[in-house]
Structure 1
């Protein structure tokens, strides 16, 4: 129905096996699911890509309360991350890489928060003059998302990286090297090496460089931020809960990765 967000047939063939089991499939109590799962996924992708409110979903989609309830239930169950990780591993294999990465690049991005973001989870980033939240992400050498952590915008990059690197190590035991910019220099490097056995290598801009210059490794994570920001729900933060914002980032990358895999199938 909507070319920029609707799930295509090749995408659905990839996504359907990764969804959690449907309710009442065995006839042992509970109501069966009323709405087509593909249509529910279409509605969620429509919200994330278009940046609209849940209650502004067009009438051809299931009720907004139903769609949001399924989205929130899958957030609690960790479904969005599992779907994303399965697609990322498949994309790495298709690109001739091992499913488990050995290196990562980290960076952060401050996002303006709307009035729906409570004061308890928002802050002010004086450097970017942004009142809202900050998302810290880790990507592999091709820009595929490995981990995301959302904090208030007032958290410094190196402080948020403690949580990000801990989450990265919890999911990937094979990573030994992490590239970062100069904002991560300091105690984070020693802590990562002694506690997580991760070598954080800072890629600095040369002092004699003038104007814009593409820096090795660091441009990869900036491109991933551009992929995420193609989805308008991620350009501005409307989520009451930080884990819902993390889910929006995963959904944006699910849509991007599944379309890429469907085109090359």
Structure 2
């Protein structure tokens, strides 16, 4: 790889995650391929929205890049993917410590974003409220907009139910959370009770009609900014992925690229 694209991270930044990516695949012989080049190729696909087969020739072969992307994206109900481990257990915690915060947050803001599908998507749903056929991205961020939980569903799923599943999946990572801020779409005593049961956190609902004027909802702009960060990656403007897990890993990878450039 010779040409330096704007999507690239520096080699110094890549060293923060190199060991995890290298250890994810057992070596039966010395590796001749530089994983830095593979990682930059994956970022190029994410940022430019090009197809895997259309990777520029100065990157490794697209089959090789896609093969490694699949390995790093593989997860299960018990084990998160390599991308998820890098984001939650390394980069988010490192950035928080650099900002003078504790590793785990005590405050979260939850919201969702409906995104249209392309014709290649296998999983589809219809959000009747926003009239969008596609998927929903659910995220929980701290006061700095750093993601602590990410969950992807089809668009017809209710925000409250999906948020509960997301919190349940990440209850270890969110064990220190004491307060969760949501908008009026999450209003429900059952929802608040479920969150209290799972992680012992209190839910605060901010309603626009209680502010008596048109203003930005307190602290809600933080999670909206996090969604805006994702839009810096053209591949996330629509859902181009066949599987929900691939959509999830692309969102995680987007946050990884942002936080790596902050390190």
The TM-score with structure 2 as length reference comes to 0.91
Contact 1:234 1:249 in 2 (8 A): yes
C-alpha offsets along residues 195-226 of structure 1, whole Å, 9 cap, x if unaligned?
Answer: 44221111121356444x22112111000000
Could you tell me which of 179, 182, 203 is aligned with 1:200? 203
Secondary structure class of the residue paired with 2:152 = strand
C-alpha offsets along residues 94-126 of structure 1, whole Å, 9 cap, x if unaligned?
Answer: 0000011111110000111111111xx210111
- Residues 101/208 of structure 1: CA separation in 2 closer, same or farther (3 Å cut): closer
Distance in 2 (alpha carbons) for counterparts of 1:123 and 1:22: 34
* Matching residue of 2:78: none
Q: Which runs of 5 or more structure 1 residues have no equivalent in the other structure?
A: none
Is the aligned partner of 1:138 residue 2:144?
no
Secondary structure class of the residue paired with 1:149 = strand
* Matching residue of 2:126: 124
* Matching residue of 1:64: 62
Aligned pairs, how many? 254
- Residues 64/206 of structure 1: CA separation in 2 closer, same or farther (3 Å cut): same
Contact 2:182 2:206 in 1 (8 A): yes
Secondary structure class of the residue paired with 2:23 = coil
- CA drift of 1:12 comes to 2.0
- CA drift of 1:182 comes to 0.6
Secondary structure class of the residue paired with 2:73 = helix
- CA drift of 1:249 comes to 0.8
Contact 1:179 1:202 in 2 (8 A): yes
Secondary structure class of the residue paired with 2:157 = coil
Distance in 2 (alpha carbons) for counterparts of 1:195 and 1:145: 19
1:1-265 to structure 2, matched below 5 A, reads 1-21=3-23, 23=25, 25=27, 30-76=28-74, 78-85=81-88, 86-118=90-122, 121-186=123-188, 187-207=190-210, 209-211=212-214, 213-261=215-263
* Farther off after superposition, 182-191 or 198-207: 198-207
Distance in 2 (alpha carbons) for counterparts of 1:34 and 1:24: 14
Contact 1:24 1:32 in 2 (8 A): no
- CA drift of 1:23 comes to 5.0
Secondary structure class of the residue paired with 1:171 = coil
- Residues 53/205 of structure 1: CA separation in 2 closer, same or farther (3 Å cut): same
* Farther off after superposition, 220-229 or 155-164: 155-164
C-alpha offsets along residues 6-54 of structure 1, whole Å, 9 cap, x if unaligned?
Answer: 12133123232342427565xxxx3443421010000000011111111
Give me the CA root mean square deviation: 1.7
Distance in 2 (alpha carbons) for counterparts of 1:162 and 1:116: 29
